[in-house]
Amino acid sequence: MSLENAPDEVKLAVDLIMLLEQHEIAPEVVLKALEIVKRDFEKKQLSAPLP
């Protein structure tokens, strides 16, 4: 599968992986940070107005 045709979430995931690997961030730090990011975006999603 070409990344060009991949869903947006896959493209974003690949970009994030590349960024984190380029900065040589330890996996345990990445996982803890992603938990924080996930909680933040879940809160934003819950408080977003419905279409």
In a domain, 29, yes or no: yes
1-51 pLDDT, tens digit per residue, is: 688 999 999 999 999 999 999 999 999 999 999 999 999 999 999 998 776
| Residue-level pLDDT at 1 | 61
In a domain, 1, yes or no: no
The answer to whether the CB of 27 falls within 8 A of the CB of 17 is no
In a domain, 50, yes or no: yes
In a domain, 17, yes or no: no
In a domain, 6, yes or no: no
In a domain, 30, yes or no: yes
In a domain, 19, yes or no: no
In a domain, 8, yes or no: no
Burial 14-37 (b: 16+ CB within 10 A, else e): eeeeeebeeeeeeeeeeeeeeeee
CA 46 to chain CA mean position, Å? 18
**pTM value > 0.75:** yes
The whole domain housing 42 covers 25-51
| Residue-level pLDDT at 13 | 96
How many independent structural domains does the chain possess? Answer: 1
